[in-house]
Amino acid sequence: MRYELSKKEIGERIAKLRLKKSFSQEDLAKNIAISRPSLTQIELGNRSVSLSEMQKLSVALGFSLDDFMTKDFLANQSLKLPDEINDEIVEERISVPTLNVNKFKNVLLYILEHCAGKPNVGETVLYKLLYFSDFNYYELYEEHLTGAKYKKLPYGPVPQKLDAIINQMVEMNQLQKIKTTYKGYPQKRYLPLEKADLTLLKASEKDVIDKVIEQMSNWSATAISDYSHKDLPWEVTEEGKDISYNLAFYRELPYSVRVYDEDDND
């Protein structure tokens, strides 16, 4: 018996079937002739599925359209419960990030060269500039910039292992750490003591970082934190958990930095 399915329910069912069949999002998207970002939007419940796309999905994933529309379809397929599958969708990545410490140090130095003199750029603003540089680059090129992992914390995304890297850079006289106040609040700041090695940054990487600096480096800690809280990767991640780079493909304007094909906006 058919019943009305929401876009979210349709997306969950497709994601469950895809994972059961061991398809990656890239493989399934190619199979049904849509872009990968379109498929991620479908699975997230943000995009409707046309009849022709549903027919292609039924062939690729091996299900009956009539069965798919029934209330007990998931139970009959012996699939996981919706809450369990969401974690798998969030955790799926094109590639697992691996921290490139040397690249991270030089990105940090590059940002500080341009921003350390601005009185608003304390630790909070710096964390967000690093986050948006990493996630914007990944959305654009499907490659990691620094490979840093970011954790969802109350004031926004925070790069892991940053304290250890900064302490090492202080010991090597690459950075100076200072404590001051800004508008009556305590502030931790970092000053670069050497220039970034630009030979380690590709033109595309430098361009992404430059755009983040231009857009956000004059924002206050409160403003940039509030902005990061509305970025979908941070928004849908459980507090204290790593933020999946794969979620960058779910972004919408003004956060999305990639121009997708027409069907991405269907």
pLDDT of 86 higher than 60: no
Residue 202 has pLDDT above 90, yes or no: yes
Candidates 217, 244, 202, 215; CA nearest to 95 is 244
Could you tell me the pLDDT band of residue 75, with boundaries at 50, 70 and 90?
low
Average confidence (pLDDT) over 214-232: 93
Q: Which has the higher per-residue pLDDT, 30 or 74? A: 30
The whole-angstrom separation of Cα 86 and Cα 68 is: 19
Q: Is the dihedral of CA 3, 7, 13, 17 positive or negative?
A: positive
Task: Determine contact, residues 35/79, Cβ cutoff 8 Å.
Answer: no
pLDDT at 94: 45
pLDDT of 74 reads 65
pLDDT of residue 85: 41
**pTM attached to this predicted model:** 0.69
Q: How confident is the model at residue 4 (pLDDT cuts 50, 70, 90)?
A: confident
Query: How much is the pLDDT for 137?
Result: 96
Of residues 46 and 245, the one with the higher pLDDT is: 245
The predicted-structure confidence for 28-37, as pLDDT tens digits, reads as follows 888 888 887 7
Q: What is the pLDDT of residue 261?
A: 55
Q: If DSSP codes are grouped into helix, strand and coil, which group holds residue 102?
A: helix
For residues 34 and 262, the answer to whether their CB atoms sit within 8 Å is: no
Mean pLDDT computed over 240-244: 90
Over pLDDT 90: what percentage of the chain? 41
User: Residue 5: pLDDT band by 50, 70, 90 thresholds?
Assistant: confident
| Backbone dihedral angles phi then psi of residue 238, each to the nearest 5 degrees | -70, 140
**Predicted local confidence at residue 205, as pLDDT:** 96
Residue 242, SS3 per DSSP = strand
Query: Which two tokens mark 83?
Result: 């809450």
